[in-house]
Structure formats: structure tokens, C-alpha cells
């Protein structure tokens, strides 16, 4: 198993979409542990690509290739990650988005998959979603909770703008709102008036469980 995990990491690191897809299928066919496949395999690849980018060894096109390979694997594993742990009815409706100006969506996709697996109805609006569209969709589907992901220090500000926009529209209290993404902290979350923050997908599920009775 450790050899396959290493290959998964390398497939993403090298931006090899064909190999990443093949290994994702292999994981499904052989009923490999999904948490291990993600945490010790594919995710390590995108994390190491990030480190190489920071060190100036990878350029943006390299990062794009790694991200594309990661997304290929995620698409194949999606149904398995989303498999509900129990047959319970919907625990609530969640609208997820990567904020306006932010194309990073790998972390958000994982958070969405984990929430779906835990029994929530998740509407994932994708990356780079205009602020008002997030709110309009939450209103439309009668969401219980809005989840906002931001990976850039510059786009974090949109999380605050959405909280303020909800207040302007007089509907802030209708929705629980959580924020996440690598630069986001507890301090930031409470400072902008969010209801919570999590630094990973498992924590996000626990957080949402706590907020939605």
C-alpha cells in the first residue's frame, strides 16, 4: 500500500493526469482506505507542489498541472468520498463557494464531499463566485448554512464582504456562516462575524454539526 500511496503523491506532483486517474481507479477497485489515499497519497502531492512553488522550483504552469491531476483523481473518488456513513435523512442544506476572485477549489471540494458523506445536502457553487450570487443561491434553496473558502490573503476580504452584505440585506441571522482556507484563522473568523472556522474538512463537519441542530 505504501508504494501505491507514493505513486499517487508523485502522479499529482508530476501533473500526470493519466497516472492519477489510473491510481484513483486502482484505489476504488481494491477498496483502499479513502482517508489514507487522500491524506497520504494524492493530497501530499498537491502540498509538495505548493512547497516547490514557494521555493521557486515550480512555476505556475507546473502548479496548474499538479492541480489538474489532483482534480482528475478527486472526480473519480468523488462518489466514494461522498458515500454516506449512515442512511439518515438530510441533516441540513449547505451552500459552499470559493469566494469572488479565488479559483482555488480543491479544499472546498473535499469539504463538500465530507459534508455530503455526513448527511448534508450540499450545493457547491464552484470557484470564483460573485458575492451576491452566493447569497441569492442561499436564499433560493433555503440554506441553513453558508460555507466560504478563500486561499488568498487578498480574497479573504470577500468573506467579510459577504457577512456585511447579509447584514445589509437584513438576513444575516437566517444563516449560519463558516469560513475556511489556508490563510484563514479563528481570529479572522470571529473578527468578521462568522459563526465558525475550521482548518480542515473533518473539522468542518464537526463544526457544521455543532451549528446546525
Name the site residues for ligand B1M (rule: CB under 6 A).
43, 46, 49-50, 53-54, 60, 63-64, 67, 101-108, 110-111, 147-149, 151-153, 178-183, 198-201, 204
* Number of separate helices (H) and strands (E) present in the chain: 10, 5
Q: Closest approach of Cβ 178 to ligand B1M, in Å? A: 5
Q: How far is the CB of 87 from ligand B1M (least distance, A)?
A: 25
Least distance CB 145 / ligand B1M (angstroms):
9
Among candidates 56, 19, 64, 12, which has minimal Cα distance to 38? 12
- In whole angstroms, what is the distance from residue 44 CA to residue 49 CA? 8
In the complex with ligand B1M, the residue whose CB is nearer, 19 or 150, is 150
Positive or negative torsion for Cα 50, 54, 55, 60: positive
Least spacing, CB of residue 70 vs ligand B1M, in Å = 7
Cα 59 to the center of its chain, rounded Å:
23
Of all residues in this chain, which one has the CB nearest to ligand B1M in the complex?
Answer: 107
Nearer to ligand B1M, 143 or 201 (CB): 201
* Nearer to ligand B1M among residue 110 and residue 129 (C-beta): 110
| 179 SS3 class | strand
In the complex with ligand B1M, the residue whose CB is nearer, 111 or 125, is 111
Residue placing its CB nearer to ligand B1M in the complex, 103 or 141:
103
Find the shortest distance in angstroms from Cβ 73 to ligand B1M. 12
Residue 86 corresponds to which cell in the numbers above? Answer: 449512515
Other C-beta atoms within 10 Å of 125: how many? 18
> Which residues lie below 8 Å from residue 105, measured CB to CB, with a gap of 6+?
98, 126, 127, 149
Amino acid at each position: 500500500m505504501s508504494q501505491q500511496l507514493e505513486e499517487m503523491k508523485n502522479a499529482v506532483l508530476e501533473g500526470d493526469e493519466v497516472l492519477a486517474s489510473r491510481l484513483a481507479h486502482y484505489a476504488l477497485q481494491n477498496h483502499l482506505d479513502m482517508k489514507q489515499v487522500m491524506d497520504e497519497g494524492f493530497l501530499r502531492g498537491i502540498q509538495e507542489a505548493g512547497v516547490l512553488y514557494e521555493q521557486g522550483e515550480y512555476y505556475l504552469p507546473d502548479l496548474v498541472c499538479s492541480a489538474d491531476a489532483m482534480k482528475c483523481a478527486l472526480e473519480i473518488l468523488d462518489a466514494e468520498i461522498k458515500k454516506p456513513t449512515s442512511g439518515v435523512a438530510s441533516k441540513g442544506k449547505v451552500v459552499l463557494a470559493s469566494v469572488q476572485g479565488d479559483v482555488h477549489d480543491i479544499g472546498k471540494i473535499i469539504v463538500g464531499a465530507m459534508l455530503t458523506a455526513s448527511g448534508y445536502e450540499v450545493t457547491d457553487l464552484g470557484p470564483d463566485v460573485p458575492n451576491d450570487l452566493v447569497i441569492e443561491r442561499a436564499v433560493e434553496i433555503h440554506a441553513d448554512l453558508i460555507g466560504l473558502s478563500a486561499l488568498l490573503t487578498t480574497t479573504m476580504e470577500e468573506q467579510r464582504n459577504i457577512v456585511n452584505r447579509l447584514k445589509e440585506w437584513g438576513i444575516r441571522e437566517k444563516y449560519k456562516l463558516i469560513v475556511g482556507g489556508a490563510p484563514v484563522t479563528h481570529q479572522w473568523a470571529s473578527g468578521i462575524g462568522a459563526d465558525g472556522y475550521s482548518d480542515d474538512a473533518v473539522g468542518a463537519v464537526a463544526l457544521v454539526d455543532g451549528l446546525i441542530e
